[in-house]
Amino acid sequence: MPTQVPCPHCGRPVEWSAASPFRPFCSKRCKLVDLGDWLAENHRIPCIDDPVDEDLSPPDEARSIH
């Protein structure tokens, strides 16, 4: 019985053999998507301008006190 590993992207079982050329991914699509996510994460780190930091509004509880 061939060894099976879960696809890192979608979790589907992937047969660990020559029958699965994209292992440990289940398909070329999963491989590309996962690689794309990884690259996107890597490229996001140098971007220091995060608009979320400037959008800090006080929580509703603090406003209801007054």
5 binds Zn ion (CB under 5 A): no
Could you give the string, one character per residue 20-49, with x where binding to Zn ion holds by CB under 5 A and - elsewhere?
A: ------x---x-------------------
Q: Which residues contact 14 (CB under 8 A, 6 or more apart)?
A: 4, 5, 6, 7, 20, 22, 23, 24, 25, 26
Sole binder of Zn ion in the list 5, 10, 15, 33 (CB under 5 A): 10
β 13-15/4-6 pair status: antiparallel
The nearer residue to Zn ion, 23 or 26, going by C-beta atoms, is 26
